A and B are shown apart, each in its own frame.
Chain A
Amino acid sequence: MSSRMRNILIPIIAVLLGVLVGTIIMIVSGYDAVAGFQALWNGAFGDIYFTGEVVRQVTPYILAGLAVAFAFRTGLFNIGVEGQLIVGWVAAVWVGVSFDLPKIFHLPLAVLAAAVAGALWAFIPGYLKAKFRVHEVIVTIMLNYTALHITNHFIRTVLSDGKERSENIATTASLRSPFFEGLTEYSRMHWGIFIAIICAIIMWFILEKTTRGFELRAVGFNEHASQYAGMNVKQNIILSMVISGTFAGLAGAMEGLGTFGYTAIKGGFTGVGFDGIAVALLGANTAIGVVLAAILFGSLKVGALNMPLEAGIPNELVDIIIALIIFFVASSYIIRWFIDRISKKGAK
């Protein structure tokens, strides 16, 4: 089987397996599986409002997925997308509430702030890896918690006077789109989807077309050979994390400037950054794959909200079904990994 075929087939099989086991679980627990899936579908596409909400949810998923995928393609495992997203969110909101500028400056500045914050947050593990060989997984996991607590403190002290949330951002910094809102019966769909799509194109372009992408991928595959070939391995590792963090920070801007328009103290993670890992895996770490996988995840996430309402299926069961799909996606990745290892052995 060619690797292209495999990349397309494996995720599809994984999703089907998830649906199959989900069906069995619904039937075993005494619920009507057909009605359940119908509710899921209707909850995502049965109404233009829902579809708008799906797009809204897909937007940060694309960016979080790109962040994970970009790092992965260059040999790094960025578990810290969640933390980078959170700092991006808060940075965007901070610019959104503290400046008084015309929209053509304010909005780009707020988006840029999120990108820079995410990039800086990812620079830390990149630098530590390049300089001291500290494994990025450990550092990024720790930085997720650090981000959560630091931003909570920031929200309490700088963005408000000891309150739970910031003020709403100025309309000049908002990604809100009256046009889309009108189109989708006042869903929260916003302009951010274009930023996400453009970023997907940028990722593809950097990796496949640019000289820098050639280096980044080479370093990811074989550091020794890259060093031998005169590439600056350390610089490339840092750059890879920084680009990845930029995407993650932008994902935060989608929430801060688009969906919510403010930021609030969080008791826990948003989960979007972690879902980004599943999105990237399902999308085989390619730009187009990530977009498609994000659409699937966004639809599931939004559609699932309708399952308790329309089919009486409890929320917990819905979570289980979604988790199952992620599980099969992740294990299909493991299967692929095994296939590759075995054929590597053979090819040597």
Chain B
Amino acid sequence: MEEYVIEMLNIRKEFSGFVANDNITLQLKKGEIHALLGENGAGKSTLMNVLFGLYQPEAGEIKVKGESVNITDPNVANDLGIGMVHQHFMLVDTFTVTENIILGKETSKGGVIDIKTAEEEVRKISERYGLAVDPQAKISDISVGMQQRVEILKTLYRGAEILIFDEPTAVLTPQEIKELIQILKTLINEGKSIILITHKLKEIMEVCDRVTVIRKGKGIGTVNVSETNPTDLASLMVGREVTFKTEKTEAKPTSDVLLINDLVVKDSRGVEAVRGLNLNVRAGEIVGIAGVDGNGQSELIEAITGLRKADKGSIKLNNKEILNLPPRKITESGLAHIPQDRHKHGLVLNYSVGENMVLQTYYQKPFSRSGIMNFKQIFDKARSLISEFDVRTPSEFTPARALSGGNQQKAIIGREVDRNPDILIAAQPTRGLDVGAIEFIHQRLIDQRDNGKAVLLISFELEEIMNVSDRIAVIYEGEIVAVVDPKETTEQELGLLMAGSKRQEAGEETNV
């Protein structure tokens, strides 16, 4: 009978009339990795927030180890051994790893916080699960991947037996994903049970034992991973056939839209992150930038879009110098940008979806006339974008904050593509999107190209780069070290280039 550690039975959750979870059942066996799969806005995060005590369900029952429980808040969840790693981390930037972990559960000696003991404890747990976290490091100094491990440590420190991961891989680089998967396996070996939300079917096939599929708030069913395949899973989740390879014709590039010469950009610490970079993107083509995270991609995009000052070089958009112009000037010259960090740059979360849809154009007609906003026009526009890009939101007046992660992303993409820019800079555009949405977005990028526009795609996912790009530029230590044709290269070759092998050879040659 004690087969299940967690049973969520017939859960229903509404948000002022909108049903996010409708009679969903999920049963977690001890020692398994259980995937939760569903489209953007299907209700996955909501369901997990119910389990973690952040939301109260309107109906249904939750059992932990066979006993019916009432999880009124996250502390109750902690006490029941349930821990959650959120998609957007909840860490205090200026605190150290240990301080963050003990926050709210401080060990003290005579009223003084006992950091030493806590650090020791953190180090021990970290070693046991192979997390390799430095307990004394400051959060603002460590990578996103490390921050995620701190979140994992936090749950383990609180004695979690059941761990919930909400889209943990969406923010990670391919290398970090490999390491995370290793960590998940270690956790299982140590007797933990895991619920994993992910849109990446490959990951599900690789590590999960069973998968529960939900669609538009309703439970579709639970299947054994060994008895299914990615194609079936995708159609279960979307409710139709999904093709994984995007169809496209040969590119017909013409003249340069974006031309970058000898660009030098420093990062926030003052170190040169982009070092004499050269790149061109022509009308009618998609150029993909492949590279390991931290090789100057972010600084490059920020310099092109005007968010960061460049030190040297030239960036020409339609033959006009745009280097170090203010972002508005650059936008008006025909550039659009899907930013990498949607919460930081892409959205004003407290603004409605409608207001976010005009974030760059709010001052133009017809949205504004002689300094007065015309909200009717704005919300009309928003409505049409919402339906065109299938943004699942209760309405255009809903605050962007209340949208599911994937739908926030779709809203941004809709806004940027709709401006029909001469060049579209797309940084990780499909991060956190479901397979159906990814297919749709890729198609929109290709349409953009076919209409004679230029697209610059930055992605850590080689598969995406290979599928969508017409040319691939490999970035390594702030330079483009190679430009290759996706039809004539392999992931292996790209991997070597990204690791800097070509450049080394070239360097040796000049040394001789």
- Assess whether A344 is in contact with B346, with CB atoms less than 8 Å apart: no
- Assess whether B327 is in contact with A228, with CB atoms less than 8 Å apart: yes
State whether the Cβ of B297 lies closer than 8 Å to any Cβ in chain A. Answer: no
State whether the Cβ of B430 lies closer than 8 Å to any Cβ in chain A. Answer: no
- Assess whether B372 is in contact with A346, with CB atoms less than 8 Å apart: no
Query: Contacting chain B: which of A210-218, A236-244, A253-261?
Result: A210-218
State whether the Cβ of B170 lies closer than 8 Å to any Cβ in chain A. Answer: no
Chain A residue at minimum C-beta to C-beta distance from B364 = A211
State whether the Cβ of A331 lies closer than 8 Å to any Cβ in chain B. Answer: no
State whether the Cβ of B88 lies closer than 8 Å to any Cβ in chain A. Answer: yes
Known: A214-B355, A229-B359. 19 other contacts (CB 8 A): A210-B373, A211-B368, A211-B372, A214-B373, A217-B351, A221-B348, A225-B344, A225-B346, A225-B347, A225-B348, A226-B348, A227-B345, A228-B305, A228-B307, A232-B326, A232-B328, A344-B401, A346-B49, A348-B87
- Assess whether B339 is in contact with A218, with CB atoms less than 8 Å apart: no
State whether the Cβ of A4 lies closer than 8 Å to any Cβ in chain B. Answer: no
Q: Which of B314-361 contact A (CB under 8 A)?
A: 326-328, 331-332, 337, 339, 344-351, 355, 359-360
State whether the Cβ of A315 lies closer than 8 Å to any Cβ in chain B. Answer: no
State whether the Cβ of A222 lies closer than 8 Å to any Cβ in chain B. Answer: yes
State whether the Cβ of A133 lies closer than 8 Å to any Cβ in chain B. Answer: no
| Number of chain A residues whose Cβ lies closer than 8 Å to a Cβ of chain B | 27
Q: Given the interface contacts A228-B307, A230-B331, does A345 sit within 8 Å of B360 by beta carbon?
A: no
> Interface of A with B (CB < 8 Å)?
2, 209-215, 217-218, 221-222, 224-232, 342, 344-348
Q: A217 vs B368: C-alpha distance in the bound complex, in angstroms?
A: 16
| Number of chain B residues whose Cβ lies closer than 8 Å to a Cβ of chain A | 38
Q: Given the interface contacts A227-B307, A227-B327, A228-B337, does A347 sit within 8 Å of B401 by beta carbon?
A: yes
- Assess whether A221 is in contact with B327, with CB atoms less than 8 Å apart: no
Q: Given the interface contacts A347-B401, A348-B87, does A228 sit within 8 Å of B373 by beta carbon?
A: no
User: Hey, which chain A residues are within 8 Å of B351, CB to CB?
Assistant: 217-218, 221
Q: Which of B88, B332, B360 contacts A229 (CB 8 A)?
A: B360
Instruction: Tell me, rounded to whole Å, the shortest Cβ–Cβ distance linking A133 to chain B.
Output: 14
- Assess whether B359 is in contact with A348, with CB atoms less than 8 Å apart: no
State whether the Cβ of B169 lies closer than 8 Å to any Cβ in chain A. Answer: no
State whether the Cβ of B55 lies closer than 8 Å to any Cβ in chain A. Answer: yes
A-B pairs with lowest CB-CB distance, top 9: A230-B328, A228-B345, A229-B359, A346-B54, A211-B368, A230-B327, A221-B350, A224-B344, A222-B348
State whether the Cβ of B45 lies closer than 8 Å to any Cβ in chain A. Answer: yes
User: Hey, which chain A residues are within 8 Å of B331, CB to CB?
Assistant: 230
User: Hey, which chain B residues are within 8 Å of A225, CB to CB?
Assistant: 344-348, 359
Q: Given the interface contacts A218-B348, A344-B401, does A228 sit within 8 Å of B363 by beta carbon?
A: no
Instruction: Tell me, rounded to whole Å, the shortest Cβ–Cβ distance linking B97 to chain A.
Output: 21
